[in-house]
Every structure is written in C-alpha cells, then in structure tokens.
Chains A and B, each alone.
Chain A
C-alpha cells in the first residue's frame, strides 16, 4: 500500500485515482461531484483507509462520525475534510447487527473521539481500540440505545 506520495491539495480526480489504485476491491466510489467524494468501504479496511486519507490525501480533520440504523444492519458514516481544497470525503461502512464492532479512528484524529463515543451510546456500535468508550450525553446507567429504530418515541410508529 501507499504507492502514492503525499498530496497536499488533492483534486477530486486525484482522490478517486489514488483510492482506486491502493484500495482496489476494498473501497467502492459511489459518486463524485464538485468538492465531494462519496465512497463505501468494507469493515476490515476502514482503519487503513482513514490512515491513508490522513497521511497521503491530507484529510486533516474528521468533521463527523455518525451512525445510521438501517434495521437490517447498522452503518457508520465518516466525513473527512481537507483544508486546502475544501473537499469532503464521505465514507460509509456497513456493520452487521449481531456483531456491531468497528475499528476506532480516534487515534488518527483526536477530534473523532467524542463522535465515536456519541455513536456508541446512541446506536450501540462498539469502536474497538477507542481510548475511553463510555456514555457521554446520556446517563451512565442507560442500558438501551435510544437512536435505534427499535426504540420508539411517543406517537412514532
């Protein structure tokens, strides 16, 4: 891996070429538009992809990490941001319901720390290798994950 050299301000085409070259078969480019790249990735290579995005493609900031409950599976969505081009890389990773584990990226970007804690407490997705995976917004004694679709609000069906 890492056949590429560091690119300070990669264009959308350069990002797509680099990802296709170094993550063939692991990363699917879904669509692109001006300053936006949307990719999906398998669960095993998310840490390597994030390391690559940080060190080679210069995505210096993890804007957000969030979860989505698709009922038949869970999903983690990353938004990474490059300061020099204003490009945002969106990565979606599917996580099965019965084994909701995924590698933590909090060691790559410290800014992702609280986002992962929030995703853990609201969706029950466990980030392996996170320095402190505890509940953040909700009380520590909660035993349910309130943002899952199985948790109904009043009036919601």
Chain B
C-alpha cells in the first residue's frame, strides 16, 4: 500500500494545545512523523529583555498554566544565584510545599487528560475533582488558582495563612486514599492496560540521547531527578524516593507519575513538619537589590514535566541582557518521531498523552 501523510493537528483532541504531528502511514502503521510547533511563539525571552527583574515573575507563571509555581521558582532561583542571595529555611520549605502542590495538580491534570485520550471519562472527572482540592490550597496560599505569582526574588510573597497547615494535611491525607480509587479505575481496566503496555517503548540509551527529562525519562530507566541529584531548597534534607521504571513504554511513564504523586504527598508532609519546627519569626523574604551584577548564571529545577533550566546573562542593569528558557517539553516533543515509529495510528494519543504536552512553555 502506498504511504500517505496524515496531519494530526493543530486542532486535534490528542494534541492538548496547538501543535501538529504529521505522520506518514502505511495502512495503519506509522512509518515516520514530523512534529510542527511554533503556533504559540510569543518571543517570551525577548520580551524579558525589556522588563525589570521583578516584573518577569508573573510572566514566568504564564509559561505553563499548570506548572506556574515551578517556572516562577526557576526564574527566581537563577536571579538569586546571580545576586548571591541565600534563602532562609522558612522560605525554602514554603517553596517546597508550593512546588509539590503544583506537581500534584499538574499530574492530576495529566491523568485527567490521559483518561479522555483513552476514552475513560470517569478518570477525567475523578482526577479533576481531586485537583480542585489542591487548587483551593493554591487559592489559600497565593490567592490564585493557576497563575500563582508566589515566589519572589529572595523568598516568597507571604507566609502560610491561618489553618493552612491543617487544610493542606487534610487534603493530602484524603488524596492518598482517593488516589488508590483512581488507580483502581486505570490499573484494573483491561482496556487501559492493553492500550498502554508495550507502546512507545524507548530504551535507556535512546532516552538520554534524545534529551528526555522528567517522568518521561525516568520511565525509561534513567535514575535522575534534579531534586535529589542537584539539590535545591533543602530537598536533600527530606526523606523521599525517586520512582524509576525500566520498561520504557507508555505504561511505565504512567506508573512513574502515579508514584511521584505519592512521593509529593510524603514531601509535603515532611516539609510541613519542618516548617512547624522553624519559628514564625524566621524571615520569609530577604531584600533583593534592584540591579543584578554582571555575569552569567543558570539554575535548574525539577518541573512536573522534566528539567526546566534558565540561563541568565546580566549586564549590571535592572533588566536581563538575555534570558534563555530550556523547556522540558520542547525537547521531549522533538523525540516524538521516535516514540511513534512502528505503532498503529490509534496508539498515538496514548503515547503522546504520556508526554504531558504543554505548548506555552514549548513555544515560549
């Protein structure tokens, strides 16, 4: 049968945003694929050169709506590194709690989208219902559900409000039980398993070569997590584990994300205990200067989707000379050509779903 090009996207239920996957198919089997991005390119990095340093924090939130906390975190981290600021312990643990809440709600968003991709609408509803509890925590902590604008240069905006610890622990304890119910919907569904197992397999060597990061990479057997191996914000003082699966298929990536949610709950619990032992008088924010000394710096943070890295070139003024964003999905989607090769066209939503697309940070 003659080969044929099929264009999936930019508006397509599987794409979760504006991008196109052009696939060359022979019958139903995918022979080749070309991802096309750029529909959302706003020149984010260039825009930043025109703004003072504090004004970029809310812009960093908008890089990805469901990982806004980690994006503003990595931006604050690189500027703090350039200014030579060391955070107080209280600010560090507040950032840890905020990051992990962000990771939980981002993974739940992914699980919901994954459910619709595979036609399992109950998973979608249940995961989004649970996500609301964490968005409510965001509202209590930052006043916003998604674009939180919480970290500041030198710390965080505000301390925990009254009863936040109680509400947070309630939500986390409840969620750990409910997550098992959601797992029952997926792991015990033979349709879900047969669509996820043995599709989109990547070996460990290829994962490293393609530059995959985050749960996508850890599902291929690479044991690396920025939080543990390049620690920041006292993550190394907490006791938790990095989930790794060796299989490398879509199901392994699903398993890694589910296990990460349990670990995030554990991290929140421990960080809350640490916050309890730090006196409330500990400053949550150190004063940051207006100008940044000239130099080049970079910082990286474990985003829910992978490793986010920012590279800052400062020239001594109050605006960045150049700010480069290394987006995890930008690299992961460039490997999609290898992910979908040899599978049937109906498996593409299941495979691309496990990458957890977010176009805001991809196109910048």
Interface residues of A (CB under 8 A from B): 35, 60-64, 66, 68-69, 77, 79, 81, 83, 85-86, 88, 90, 92, 109-115, 136-139, 146-147, 151, 153, 155-156
Interface majority SS on B: helix, strand, loop or mixed?
Answer: mixed
Q: Which residues of A are found within 8 Å of B321, using beta-carbon distances? A: 68
List, sorted by A's number, 27 A–B pairs whose CB atoms are closer than 8 Å: A35-B230, A63-B309, A63-B326, A66-B324, A69-B322, A77-B311, A79-B298, A83-B224, A83-B229, A86-B226, A86-B230, A88-B298, A90-B298, A92-B296, A110-B209, A110-B210, A111-B211, A111-B335, A112-B211, A114-B330, A114-B331, A137-B41, A137-B364, A138-B41, A147-B46, A153-B46, A155-B50
Q: Which residues of B are found within 8 Å of A151, using beta-carbon distances? A: 46
Query: How many interface residues does chain B have, given as a range?
Result: 35 or more
- Chain B residues 255-297 with CB under 8 Å of chain A are 296
B38 interfacial contact with A, CB 8 Å:
yes
Contact A83 B223 (CB under 8 A): yes
Determine how close the nearest CB of chain A comes to the CB of B246; give it in whole angstroms.
15
> How many Å lie between the Cα of A155 and that of B319 in the bound state?
13
B167 interfacial contact with A, CB 8 Å:
no
Q: Which residues of A are found within 8 Å of B309, using beta-carbon distances? A: 63-64, 79
Contact B211 A66 (CB under 8 A): no
B37 interfacial contact with A, CB 8 Å:
yes
Among B49, B211, B222, B224, contact of A110 (Cβ-Cβ < 8 Å): B211
Going nearest first, the 4 A-B pairs with the smallest beta carbon separation are A111-B211, A86-B229, A64-B326, A86-B230
Say yes or no: A114-B322 contact (C-beta < 8 A), given A83-B224, A137-B37: no
Q: Which residues of B are found within 8 Å of A138, using beta-carbon distances? A: 38, 41
Contact A156 B50 (CB under 8 A): yes
Determine how close the nearest CB of chain A comes to the CB of B133; give it in whole angstroms.
33
B161 interfacial contact with A, CB 8 Å:
no
Contact A83 B324 (CB under 8 A): no
Say yes or no: A83-B311 contact (C-beta < 8 A), given A66-B324, A113-B334, A114-B334: no
Q: Which residues of B are found within 8 Å of A114, using beta-carbon distances? A: 330-331, 334
Encode B228-239 as 1/0 by CB contact (under 8 A) with A: 011000000000
Chain B: CB-nearest residue to A121: B38
- Chain B residues 306-364 with CB under 8 Å of chain A are 307, 309, 311, 313, 321-322, 324, 326, 330-331, 334-335, 363-364
Determine how close the nearest CB of chain A comes to the CB of B50; give it in whole angstroms.
5
Q: Which residues of B are found within 8 Å of A139, using beta-carbon distances? A: 38
Determine how close the nearest CB of chain A comes to the CB of B326; give it in whole angstroms.
4
Among A61, A77, A147, A156, contact of B211 (Cβ-Cβ < 8 Å): A61
